Amino acid sequence: MHWLVAGTGAVGSLMAVNLRRVGEHVSIKPRVPGKARAIEIIHAAHSLEFGVQQFPIEQPTQIFAAIKAYDVANFLEELKQAPLPAGSSIVLSYNGMLENEINIMPERALHWVTTHGAYKNGNEVVHAGLGESWLGWARVEHASSSRPAELFSVLNNALPLLNWSPAINQRRWQKLAINCLINPFTVIHDCRNGELLQHNITELQHQVAEEICWLAEHQGIQLNSESLVESARSVIKNTANNYSSMLMDVRQQRRTEIDYLNGFVARQSAAAGTAAPTNETLWRRVLELSA
């Protein structure tokens, strides 16, 4: 299979090196346009070089887009201008949710939701915490269609464990909650995920989780706040050495995804007539810290 990994952040780089490791043909499309013809990624002391590919694409290609939530609409618009050859698919991986995302998902788009932890140090990608991932069709009307067998199996070999999910939306809400329960706290305490266990945040996490459960239920998704806090705790332990993507964004003075995480929860709850004060406070605090 031909793969194009869009986005050369931690997750995109991690996927690119692992796809290459299992023998796939991989090129890269950085989201920040540059003139480079090749990109070097260092992983486990090996330096690998990836050719840079731009749109349009001539042959059937599996796109793995590990991009920021605020870049999703632009990226999908770019794809619309350069339609992909038959046999291509688009796998999207981003933290958080967009208010209008249901209307912008292309036909063959899939969501890849992960709890793996990775961060980048210059050109080097560090796989700092093992997790698992879920793959499912992005468009609700395709949710129960069969899984694309070859694509699934390649992604599973590259970065196990991958689960097929006909209810990917449920998984996306769980991941949204995990990110809301971890990422802003790593910014506020300026620490690795594991160091959060030394801070007294459990009460606040329960409030964040309860606000998320209320909103999810309002949107037809059942979640349980106790299990969300519990899951966040196990992700914290499994990715203890990781620097969250949000902390890396703040440290490198990039825009964070807070608007699409706790900010999304606060705005959507307000629109539904209920305040989500803890998510709102975390949203504002991270915005202040990243200004």
Residue 221: CB minimum distance to ligand KPL, A: 19
61 vs 183 by CB, closer to ligand KPL: 183
* DSSP states of 253-277: T---SGGGTHHHHHHHHHHTT---H
Continuous segment of H or E residues that includes residue 228: helix 225-238
Residue 175 known to be catalytic = yes
Residue 71: CB minimum distance to ligand KPL, A: 15
Among 179, 205, 268, 269, binds ligand KPL (CB under 6 A): 179
Among 245, 268, 278, 279, binds ligand KPL (CB under 6 A): 245
Q: Is 193 in the site for ligand KPL (CB under 6 A)?
A: yes
- Residues 206 to 235: which contact ligand KPL by CB under 6 A? 235
- Residues 78 to 107: which contact ligand KPL by CB under 6 A? 95
The residue written with tokens 């990243």 in the block is: 290
Phi, psi of 170 (to 5 degrees): -60, -45
Confirm if 104 and 78 have CB atoms less than 8 A apart. Answer: no
Q: Is 244 in the site for ligand KPL (CB under 6 A)?
A: yes
Residue 95: CB minimum distance to ligand KPL, A: 5
Residue 232: CB minimum distance to ligand KPL, A: 8
61 vs 115 by CB, closer to ligand KPL: 115
Size of the site for ligand KPL (CB under 6 A): 12
Among 115, 133, 174, 225, binds ligand KPL (CB under 6 A): 115
Phi, psi of 267 (to 5 degrees): -65, -45
Catalytic, out of 29, 35, 175, 237:
175
3-state secondary structure string across 125-176: EEEEECCCEEEEECCHHHCCCCCCHHHHHHHHHHCCCEEECCCHHHHHHHHH
Binding segment for ligand KPL (CB under 6 A), chosen from 163-171, 179-187, 195-203, 221-229, is: 179-187
State how far the Cα of 1 lies from the Cα of 191, in Å rounded to an integer: 39
Residue 59: CB minimum distance to ligand KPL, A: 32
State how far the Cα of 291 lies from the Cα of 289, in Å rounded to an integer: 6
Q: What residues contact residue 230 under an 8 Å CB cut-off, 6+ apart? A: none
Q: Is 117 in the site for ligand KPL (CB under 6 A)?
A: yes
The maximal CA–CA distance of the chain, rounded, in angstroms, is 53
State how far the Cα of 162 lies from the Cα of 145, in Å rounded to an integer: 17
Residues labelled catalytic:
175
Instruction: Give the footprint of ligand KPL on this chain (CB under 6 A).
Output: 95, 115, 117, 179, 182-183, 193, 235, 239, 242, 244-245
